[in-house]
Amino acid sequence: MNDILHTLPQVLIDGLALGAIYAVVALGYTMVYGILELINFAHGEIFMTGAFVGTAVLLAAQGTGLAASLPPWLFYLLIMLIAMMFTGALGVGIERVAYRPLRKAPKLISLIAAFGVSFVLQDVVRFIAELRTGNYIVSSSSLYGERMSLPASSISSLFGDATVKTNTLIILGAALLLMVALDRFVNRSKWGVAMRAVAQDRETASLMSINVNKVIVLTFFIGSALGGATGVLFAQQYGTIDPYIGFILGMKAFTAAVLGGIGNIRGAMFGGFVIGILEMFASSNLGTLTGGSFGAEYKDVFAFSILIIVLIFKPEGLFGRAVKEKV
Amino acid sequence: MKSKGIGKGKGLAAIVLVMALAAGCGSGNGNSSSNQESGAKSGGQVIKIASQSPLSGGSSIQGEAIKLGAQLSLDDHKDEFSKLGFTLELVPYDDQSDAKKGVANAEQIGADQAVVGVIGHLNSGVSIPSSVVYEKYNLPMISPASTATEFTDRKLKVANRVVARDDFQGPAGAQYAVKTLNAKNIFVIQDKTAYGQGLAEAFRDAAKEAGASIVGYEGITVGEKDFNGVLTTVQSKKPDLIFFGGMYAEGALLVKQAKDKGITAPLMGGDALDSSGMADIAGPDVAGTLYSSVAGDITKSNKEWADSYQAKFSKGPEGYSVYAYDSMSVMLAAVKKSIEDNGGKLPAREKIRDAVRATKDFEGVATKVSFDDKGDNKYAKVFIYKFEGASYPGSMISEVSQ
């Protein structure tokens, strides 16, 4: 028990960082589902593409010396913006090419198209990455790699000190900023109203002179841009990326969206943090809790068991009904 | 009655389809045999040796090295074989480090009668299921890298390796860690693969026996990037050495994230960390990381060979390059011997298989090779390396023989 308390500050910090990434990626799943009732499985790959675009810009700028002439925070912001524009456009393109022709087809067909898109993206990115380096695992330097110590032991002697990377704080800050901005956009702006209207009833919305196609394009753009931004944060945090990072992460982000109640934006954010912290907690404490018979390798089993238990008692997800409108 | 008629019609269509397919296959075979005949006219009968290693994926650096090492040896022996009236050819296959892909390739290789041997695989998890297929086709394989004990313990007639076994690699690493580094508290992490778990368990047991205490034994998932959870446990146990059984993509991230957490205990791993990928991913944090390897540093022990490799492929050899070279040399020596025993004609695969297993005191570039009755090399050694800075390879600091 003491061990668990001792490591708790560190577990919470790492879990929050991972959870923030899950949360923002989960937004992309939940927004598209809210509007089209389509599970866009290619979203994990959009996240991955964002990570690659960001890293490519970073490496290119470092190669030409441009990086040194800009302050790092501005450079970081610039990379994120470029990656967001790129993945946003990519998301819109995917919607236009793969999903719009199938909009009237049964849901299962669009789902399979989503799988197809995700395989294509994986292999295209792998191909391009291999062209340049001969190896598709790409490493980059971290702009904010400094480490600092968080003296949690001064609060209570039960807690141990935690170490934080500056980038972890950036992830948390950026994720919160993006989520608050999205929440306000959806709930306060004219386009947000249109999005909620389309989510509620597409046909009636179109009768109210809402351009449904434009709203859908906007949804894909925003969702994908958020995914791309998270990709950059992820690449900066872990320093190494490969074309297959989107799959496992996408699965977990999707799970987070389901946990929070799919279609619900605040639910997705909450679900992301819950899954991230649960996973981190399980991977550092399962061994202690079970006396060594189940180790850290069962962390996903643990996190997903919680998901199943929640869904048994609340099939619509944690926030599924608390908020009526969905986007 | 009517429905029965339809059924019959369908059955007929199916038969026609099957026949058409069979005919297609037949003509395919015809083509390849006519190719062989035309080949025979120009440069003698073609002898193919296949290589199987991951040419794409996380271990592609090492997989490519295996292919190129085998290629170099094959090219060196071309003249020798053309004197006997045979043309050598390497057929490289990509197993993607995937057991299913390896087995599918193995079926293809086995069906090609011109192939007499296989060099590969890299991963034990792929070597083990694929060797069953080779056994079916009596096709000898020599692995330059697979170290799992099960690979040869099933006593297959076809499975051989030139490198040491995990149950020696693990103990050799443990011996070094406990005796030389004086590690008392060791934390063991493994990646749940046949290779990683086998190595980690062998290390754990040997380290315990040597007197160290194992303060933790945890697993991680291949393909993930965040190992902070496990590392938090490591931090709370304060070990003086972390042992990792797994591949370099995860190993490098563990090293980096451990440094992020301020863990100062060095990480030690098996031969899978023997890759330039370690230095690429972990950067300067890699300094101090140890790995035991079944491959010696060829750039030190035989500079001449390393230079010829560099000259031919315009990249330096990886750890396994020279073992793939030796594997191919052993294979070709056995093929040559069985041709000579057979009066100058290419004998059946069974003969070559037995000739490979009978290899005794073969002097390779990197290692002497003598296969025992299971296919393990009696002269295999384990080497201990240490990364000095963010550059690969590390420097060889110790050597443990059986």
Answer yes or no: do B229 and A284 touch at CB < 8 A: yes
User: What is the bridge-based pairing of β-strands A240-241 and B45-53?
Assistant: unpaired
Q: Is residue A77 part of a domain?
A: yes
Lowest mean pLDDT across A20-29, A161-170, A223-232:
A161-170
Q: In this predicted structure, what is the pLDDT of residue A316?
A: 85
Q: In this predicted structure, what is the pLDDT of residue A116?
A: 93
Answer yes or no: do B283 and A238 touch at CB < 8 A: no
pLDDT above 90: residue A6: no
| Chain A: residue whose CA lies nearest to B262 | A163
Q: Is residue A252 part of a domain?
A: yes
In sequence order, the 6+-apart residues with CB closer than 8 A to the CB of B302 are B322, B365, B366
Q: In this predicted structure, what is the pLDDT of residue B36?
A: 41
Calpha distance B238→A53 (Å, rounded) = 39
Q: In this predicted structure, what is the pLDDT of residue B207?
A: 93
Residue of A1, A2, A10, A146 to mutate for B, most B C-beta atoms under 10 A: A10
Answer yes or no: do B260 and A287 touch at CB < 8 A: no
Q: Is residue A150 part of a domain?
A: no
Please check whether residue A231 is in contact with residue A37, taking contact to mean a CB–CB distance below 8 angstroms: no
**Residues lower than pLDDT 50 in chain B:** 1-13, 16-42
| Chain B: residue whose CA lies nearest to A280 | B229
Q: In this predicted structure, what is the pLDDT of residue B59?
A: 83
- Name the minimum distance, in Å, from the CA of A229 to any CA of chain B: 18
Output the furthest CA–CA distance in chain B (Å, rounded).
85
| Chain B: residue whose CA lies nearest to A8 | B232
- Name the minimum distance, in Å, from the CA of B34 to any CA of chain A: 36
Whole-number mean pLDDT of chain A? 88
Answer yes or no: do B229 and A11 touch at CB < 8 A: yes
Is the ipTM higher than 0.90? The answer is: no
Question: Is A253 an 8 Å CB contact of chain B?
Answer: no
B135-182 residue pLDDT tens? 999 999 999 999 888 899 999 999 999 998 877 888 889 989 999 999
Q: Is residue A327 part of a domain?
A: no
B221 CB neighbours in chain A (<8 A) are: 248, 297, 300
Q: Is residue A213 part of a domain?
A: yes
B252 CB neighbours in chain A (<8 A) are: 240
Q: In this predicted structure, what is the pLDDT of residue B43?
A: 60
A118-167 residue pLDDT tens? 999 999 999 998 887 777 888 887 787 777 777 777 777 777 778 888 88
Q: In this predicted structure, what is the pLDDT of residue A327?
A: 53
Calpha distance A282→A289 (Å, rounded) = 9
Q: Is residue A95 part of a domain?
A: yes
Question: How many structural domains are present in chain A?
Answer: 1
A86-126 residue pLDDT tens? 999 999 999 999 999 998 888 889 999 999 999 999 999 99
Per-residue pLDDT, averaged over A280-289, amounts to 85
B223 CB neighbours in chain A (<8 A) are: 244-245, 247-248
pLDDT above 70: residue A325: no
Give B216: exposed, middle or buried? Use CB within 10 Å, 0-12, 13-18, 19+.
Answer: buried
Question: Is A245 an 8 Å CB contact of chain B?
Answer: yes
B196 CB neighbours in chain A (<8 A) are: none
A38-62 residue pLDDT tens? 889 999 999 999 999 999 999 888 8
Q: In this predicted structure, what is the pLDDT of residue B122?
A: 92
Calpha distance B273→A40 (Å, rounded) = 37
Answer yes or no: do A135 and B61 touch at CB < 8 A: yes
Question: Is A123 an 8 Å CB contact of chain B?
Answer: no
- Given A10, A242, A295, which is nearest B218 (Cβ)? A295
Q: In this predicted structure, what is the pLDDT of residue B31?
A: 40
Answer yes or no: do A11 and B277 touch at CB < 8 A: no
Interface size, chain A vs chain B, as Cβ–Cβ contacts under 8 Å? 103
- Name the minimum distance, in Å, from the CA of B223 to any CA of chain A: 7
B233 CB neighbours in chain A (<8 A) are: 7, 283-285, 287-288, 296
Question: Is A165 an 8 Å CB contact of chain B?
Answer: yes
- Given B219, B225, B233, which is nearest A238 (Cβ)? B225
Calpha distance B48→B45 (Å, rounded) = 10
- Given A160, A282, A296, which is nearest B219 (Cβ)? A296
Question: Is A133 an 8 Å CB contact of chain B?
Answer: no
Question: Is A290 an 8 Å CB contact of chain B?
Answer: no
Q: In this predicted structure, what is the pLDDT of residue A122?
A: 93
Q: Is residue A321 part of a domain?
A: no
pLDDT above 90: residue A287: no
Q: What residues pair up with B102 in beta bridges, in sequence order?
A: none
Range of the domain at A298: 2-145+167-313
Please check whether residue B293 is in contact with residue B166, taking contact to mean a CB–CB distance below 8 angstroms: no
pLDDT above 60: residue A34: yes
- Name the minimum distance, in Å, from the CA of B162 to any CA of chain A: 27
Q: What is the CATH number of the domain that holds A25?
A: 1.10.3470
Q: In this predicted structure, what is the pLDDT of residue A62?
A: 85
Q: Is residue A326 part of a domain?
A: no
